[in-house]
Amino acid sequence: MKPGTAVRADALWRALTFLSVAQLHLIANPLLSRPLSADHVKERPTGHWGTVPGTAWALTHIGLAADAHRELEVVPVLGAGHAGVVQLALAWLTGDLATIRPEFGPTATGLEALVAAFPAANGLGSEVHPQLPAGAYVGGWLGGALAFAQGAALDAPWRVVVPVLGDGECETPTTAAAWLAHRALSASRVVAVVHLNGHRMGGPSLLGSLSDAELASYAAGVGWEPRVVHVDAADRAGRLAEHAAFHTALMDGIERTRHGGRPVIFLRCVKGWTGPLAAHKTPLTRARSDAQQRWALRRWLLGYRPEELFDSNGCPIGDLAEALTIVRFCQLQPRDRDGDRRQQQLSAEAGRPPVHGVEPPRPTFATAIADLLHRWASAGHFKVFSPDELLSNQLPTIAGQAWALEVLAEEVLLGWLAGWTLSGRRGVLISYEAFAPLLLTGLVAQLKQRRLTSDRCPSLNLLLTSYGWQNAYTHADPSLTTALAATGDPSVRVLTPADPARAAAALDDALASDGLVNVIVAGKHATACHPLDTLDEERTEGLAVWKHLSDEGQPDLTLICAGDLPAAVVEAAAHAIRRRHRCRVRVVNATSLTALSEAALHRNVGDSAAVIVATLGHPAAVWGQLAGRLERPCEVLGWREPPHPMPQDELAAFAGLSVDGVIAAADRLLSGRLRRA
């Protein structure tokens, strides 16, 4: 450890904690340059205090360790989204906050503006923010930080990721599974820090009830190398010794990752130490009106000795100033842009229109998808993540590849994919459609995080197979696409290719894209091959008229198919409807379900035709996309939850997604219209 590290660490930690308390409680006079009065205190303090001192402690030492390892990217990840108040304090000190919000500059005036604005600063809020230091993971998805850190560190020997996890967070299934899942990763440099303050939000934590020996046994049992550091000294000398002990543990942990070690440091402390103990949120809620609470608040703030940290203009001085000249807070940075370009160049040609009139071989799902994935993997910086289902999903040539990772924990896989892609690499998560709803919370959290930054990173891609139409009763649930479509987020794409060639093309486009969440739903048993003359239009517009199944002129009925099974049903039904009603029928293939909300829909359905939409998922997802824009008779046929297990043909008939079901829907829509005509 460098000389003076503990002293500088103590100054930075005190500054971060002091500034956090000021933001939580004050609206003015943040440096206490005047006697604290009621006018300086928030009427209704809002925010979270309990996580502050431990988070500030960990961030302080991560920043100082990064200075000692200039050859590495030492990246902090905050599992507790409520630690945003500490992040704002850090960003104000480093000046990073002023780069995005100049009114919060590193001066006394800027600090006063910040404390007055917290927690309602427009565009910033009170949670971890991705545009600020330590903002790689915003934390709204509690439990995902460890898996995210593992994914960000994967195959990046120049990077060490340090996730700071709460002991309550360690009770979540995702974190609990990620400890063990790390065994599946051959190269992921992670030093985990568990902020063990003994409490969750409202009660004692399970980890907090363990002794040091039990903690060590727990961590070692799942393959980690534990170290327990206690922080509870009441005097400065004792605290400096604790700074030294923690910093040494962190530096040793970083060194151990060079040789494949999996270090975890348990920072054992009391929740809210140096302030009101065991408090989760702002503890002094009446300091504006209660003189005794106001006196306690002043005493609390002065306990950090701000006069040793700042001058009258709010500028750091002494040991704090020295600390700020050397600390580094690395963000996730893509390292190999050339590799990304190689991936783009090798993007597969599978599923593109025939060249010179030569029809390509008819691919199956297995051959089309496997060939595509091998081609992407050949460029490097590419991963496939799957919950032990690659063989079941007809992809035996992918299973066992070094670039294909399988653990039976969907939420962990999503964390890996999120960290992997946010650090500039490309990949896909392949899973059963029925288990994908487990990913909803994490995906929505990633949507929220990614819309807060202007940096466009590779997309999050999901390939969902084994849908309920061809699976067991309990293995049927299309809820993920329904929920994601309902967000209305323009970066969400729900893709429903009609055949294996289109599935490969959709996945190819998804893997090459940036800034999106692409969810592709495709059956693993699909073997049909529809004409490819409209594929380019489907890829750019999301839907296209299938002329080989459509009549010339304005249609009386337009059939829209979204998915491989609906395409097969609509193709068979179109001929029968045409003969039955002697009407003009148009067939539109929707490769993108989310394209139904766009202007392209009106260009393709006809001026006044009745419309039937056949979809793999819930009809509600389609109705949400249409949003009442089709002012004409319309029916949507799709998934309907069966009352009991059914054979596939009976399930299709029950839901109306059969040839007879489509014909019956056409009868209902056309009978009265054609008679009136």
Contacts made by residues 248-251, CB under 8 angstroms, sequence distance 24+? 248/1, 250/61, 250/62, 250/65, 250/162, 250/191, 250/193, 251/1, 251/65, 251/68
On the question of a cis peptide bond just before residue 119, with omega within 30 degrees of 0, the verdict is yes
The pLDDT assigned to 228 comes to: 98
Question: Cα–Cα distance between 385 and 463 in angstroms, integer?
Answer: 10
φ and ψ of 66, to 5 deg:
-65, -35
Considering the domain architecture, whether residues 232 and 283 belong to the same structural domain is answered as yes
Two tokens at 596?
């139904």
Considering the domain architecture, whether residues 231 and 298 belong to the same structural domain is answered as yes
Q: What is the CA radius of gyration of the chain?
A: 29
CATH number of domain containing 569:
3.40.50.920
Considering the domain architecture, whether residues 264 and 117 belong to the same structural domain is answered as yes
CATH number of domain containing 166:
3.40.50.970
Is residue 531 situated within a structural domain? Answer: no
> For residues 300 and 61, is the Cβ–Cβ distance under 8 A?
no
The pLDDT assigned to 183 comes to: 95
Considering the domain architecture, whether residues 159 and 261 belong to the same structural domain is answered as yes
Of 201, 239, 253, 225, the closest CA to residue 50 belongs to 201
> For residues 393 and 466, is the Cβ–Cβ distance under 8 A?
yes
Considering the domain architecture, whether residues 662 and 583 belong to the same structural domain is answered as yes
φ and ψ of 245, to 5 deg:
-65, -45
Considering the domain architecture, whether residues 343 and 284 belong to the same structural domain is answered as no
Two tokens at 121?
């600063």
Considering the domain architecture, whether residues 221 and 352 belong to the same structural domain is answered as no
Considering the domain architecture, whether residues 341 and 320 belong to the same structural domain is answered as no
Note down the domain range covering 321: 5-326
Is residue 261 situated within a structural domain? Answer: yes
The pLDDT assigned to 38 comes to: 95
Is residue 292 situated within a structural domain? Answer: yes
Considering the domain architecture, whether residues 495 and 581 belong to the same structural domain is answered as no
The pLDDT assigned to 631 comes to: 82
Give the torsion sign (CA, 469, 473, 474, 479): positive
- Spell out, as residue ranges, where the chain has pLDDT lower than 50: 337-338, 347-359, 677
Residue identified by tokens 């999996």 is: 262
The pLDDT assigned to 335 comes to: 67
Give the DSSP per-residue string, 403-433: TEEE-S-HHHHHHHHHHHHHTT-EEEEEEEG
Considering the domain architecture, whether residues 261 and 388 belong to the same structural domain is answered as no
User: What angle, rounded to 10 degrees, do the helices at 84-94 and 52-68 form?
Assistant: 40
- How many domains in the chain? 3
Which helix (H) or strand (E) segment holds residue 146: the answer is helix 145-153
Of 269, 87, 266, 263, the closest CA to residue 165 belongs to 266
Question: Cα–Cα distance between 236 and 308 in angstroms, integer?
Answer: 14
Residue type, 222: V
Is residue 647 situated within a structural domain? Answer: yes
Two tokens at 224?
């980690």
Considering the domain architecture, whether residues 64 and 201 belong to the same structural domain is answered as yes
Which segments of 37-107 does DSSP mark as H helices, in order? 52-68, 84-94, 96-100
Q: How far is CA 202 from the centre of its chain?
A: 26
Two tokens at 10?
């103590």
Question: Cα–Cα distance between 463 and 313 in angstroms, integer?
Answer: 55
Q: How far is CA 131 from CA 16, 367, 445, 525, in A?
A: 18, 42, 15, 44
pTM of this structure:
0.94
Is residue 526 situated within a structural domain? Answer: no
The pLDDT assigned to 676 comes to: 52
Is residue 530 situated within a structural domain? Answer: no
Two tokens at 219?
């961590």
φ and ψ of 74, to 5 deg:
-100, 105
Considering the domain architecture, whether residues 413 and 464 belong to the same structural domain is answered as yes
- List all residues 6 or more positions away from 642 whose beta carbon is below 8 Å from its beta carbon: 473, 476, 651, 654, 655
The pLDDT assigned to 350 comes to: 40
Of 471, 414, 441, the closest CA to residue 616 belongs to 471
φ and ψ of 586, to 5 deg:
-120, 140
Question: Cα–Cα distance between 6 and 12 in angstroms, integer?
Answer: 10
The pLDDT assigned to 47 comes to: 87
Question: Cα–Cα distance between 297 and 291 in angstroms, integer?
Answer: 10
Q: How far is CA 83 from CA 104, 127, 130, 171, in A?
A: 19, 6, 13, 18
- List all residues 6 or more positions away from 1 whose beta carbon is below 8 Å from its beta carbon: 244, 247, 248, 251
Question: Cα–Cα distance between 243 and 463 in angstroms, integer?
Answer: 47
The pLDDT assigned to 638 comes to: 97
Question: Cα–Cα distance between 552 and 574 in angstroms, integer?
Answer: 14
